Amino acid sequence: MMEFREKLFLMLTGVFVASLVACNLIFQKFFTWSPFGWFTFEISVGILPYPITFLVTDVVSELYGRRRADLVVLTGLVASLFVMAVVLVADAVAATAWSPVDDGTFHKVFGLFGPAVFASMAAYLLAQFIDIRVFHFWKRLTRGRHLWLRNNGSTIVSQLVDTSAVLGLLCATGVIPWERFWVLLGNGFLFKVLMALLDTPVFYLLVAWLKPHVHEDPEELAWERAG
């Protein structure tokens, strides 16, 4: 029978992949949000599930170590590329006369999926690997203390890289006009920082609940053995 730690790893990977694929499928719709009254976010709905990916990699990094977190990131990349291929084939075949969704509507929603996913994947790989490495840098520096520091410090740095990289690539490929770059960069980054701060209690709760059952980070185990 599969052990709890492996079941948990598969479930966390599943949540990560689902969140990442959802980001890439729904990104073309934009909305406004005014949580404080004096400031209004203009952001893509694709950004809504994206903070979950960083929460998952932080949890996996804390419980399983860097190599397992890297594996989650690579799994997400493979899944996204597979979905991109499926969508491109679906966009290429002709709709029947009675199809509820015609070719034009389908292409309008998914036709930009190719360049958008290229931009997203390039930024995604860069940001996620930075997030994991900054997380473990802070973990080593503090000898496993101050969960909030490595959770927020790694996510905020990587989200700035991710937001600027993906917007730059989307503008360069013509998906978004350049005049929207700075507005969307500020809105996207501030939203991600806010989400990073809000997910800190969730991170603490998950680690407190799961770490007694899963404690496999090789670096942390080495510190404990060394005293």
| Greatest Cα-to-Cα distance within the chain, rounded to the nearest angstrom | 71
Tokens of 104: 């034009």
d(CA 88, CA 162): 24
Write the pLDDT tens digit of every residue in 91-123: 999 999 999 999 999 988 877 655 556 666 777
d(CA 138, CA 153): 8
Tell me the pTM: 0.86
Write the pLDDT tens digit of every residue in 33-83: 887 777 777 778 888 888 898 899 999 999 999 999 999 999 998 998 888
